[in-house]
């Protein structure tokens, strides 16, 4: 058996807030949660081997053309004291935070546990709801309040090959109830996405994506949890295995030995 990383960019993992309902309809409380969670803690639990992970604040991905580290002090290290101060400033009233945890997919089950532990340390009241991934995926579209069966936080991951620009990366869309689950409403982000589409050169696009990075982090549109590589294992009888962000089955040859 040969083991190697075929997707050199890898994937990034992140968590989403429900912007419609308390407590995360308050920007300061979203920021408190982002300060509380440390990427290294998540990546150790999810991946374990530091050879295959690295912290990263960039919503468009470290290693991608629009990499930007704005907000790294908020999303990379755990800062429980800062989180507690923001909760106090925002007058957090102990509203429970419902976190969805899928238990049947190894790539997704560790993040909610670490997030929940960090939020409890910061002073949040946490309600961890365990379920299979299909139930989480169904639950994501539920816009009812957490008290009525909705949610406050879920986490997942995406490949970086499709996350490197403002349109491929759908996590940053901020057009309210028309956006992806979480439903952030930040009109300036939507305006900048259109400016990116009309930009005439890469210098202008980089300027726009830097503005987007700042808004996405400050508004808590998506909270990056770091990047990781996924090693592939295949028979040494195979040759011509191609590097790709997805598994492809062409160009392969199989020997008898």
For 72-83, the pLDDT digits (tens) are 999 999 999 999
Of all residues in the chain, what percent carry a pLDDT higher than 90? 97
Q: Hey, what are 112's tokens?
A: 């909610």
For 89-137, the pLDDT digits (tens) are 999 999 999 999 999 999 999 999 999 999 999 999 999 999 999 999 9
- CB burial class (10 A; 0-12, 13-18, 19+) of residue 85? middle
Torsions phi, psi for 45 (to 5 deg): -75, -35
d(CA 28, CA 44): 27
Q: What is the pLDDT of residue 14?
A: 98
**Residue ranges covered by each domain of the chain:** 2-254
Q: What is the pLDDT of residue 136?
A: 94
Tell me which fold the domain 2-254 belongs to: Dipeptide-binding Protein; domain 3 (3.10.105)
Q: How far is CA 208 from the centre of its chain?
A: 21
Assign 118 to helix, strand or coil.
helix
For 165-215, the pLDDT digits (tens) are 999 999 999 999 999 999 999 999 999 999 999 999 999 999 999 999 999
Q: What is the pLDDT of residue 256?
A: 82
11-17 vs 97-102, strand pairing mode:
unpaired
Axis crossing angle, helix 80-89 with helix 106-122, rounded to the nearest 10: 60
d(CA 136, CA 99): 10
The CA-atom distances, in angstroms, between 35 and each of 39, 59, 203, 238 are 10, 16, 31, 46
**Contact status, residue 36 vs residue 122, Cβ threshold 8 Å:** yes
């Amino acid at each position: 058996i040969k083991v190697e990383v075929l997707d050199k960019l890898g994937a990034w993992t992140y968590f989403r807030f429900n912007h419609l309902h308390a407590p995360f309809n308050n920007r300061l409380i979203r920021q408190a949660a982002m300060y509380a969670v440390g990427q290294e803690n998540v990546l150790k639990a999810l991946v374990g081997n530091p050879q295959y992970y690295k912290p990263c604040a960039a919503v468009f991905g470290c290693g991608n053309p629009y990499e930007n580290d704005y907000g790294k002090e908020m999303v990379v290290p755990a800062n429980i004291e800062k989180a507690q101060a923001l909760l106090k400033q925002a007058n957090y009233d102990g509203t429970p935070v419902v976190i969805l945890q899928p238990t049947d997919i190894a790539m997704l089950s560790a993040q909610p546990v670490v997030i929940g532990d960090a939020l409890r340390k910061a002073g949040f009241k946490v309600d961890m709801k365990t379920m299979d991934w299909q139930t989480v995926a169904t639950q994501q579209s539920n816009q009812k309040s957490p008290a009525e069966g909705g949610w406050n936080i879920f986490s997942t991951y995406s490949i970086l090959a499709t996350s490197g620009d403002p349109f491929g990366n759908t996590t940053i869309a901020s057009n309210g109830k028309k956006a992806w689950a979480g439903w952030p409403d930040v009109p300036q982000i939507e305006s900048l996405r259109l400016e990116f589409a009309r930009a005439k050169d890469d210098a202008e696009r980089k300027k726009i994506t830097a503005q987007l990075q700042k808004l996405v982090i400050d508004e808590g549109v998506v909270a990056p949890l770091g990047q990781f590589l996924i090693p592939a294992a295949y028979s040494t009888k195979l040759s011509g295995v191609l590097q790709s962000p997805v598994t492809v089955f062409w160009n392969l040859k199989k020997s008898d030995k």
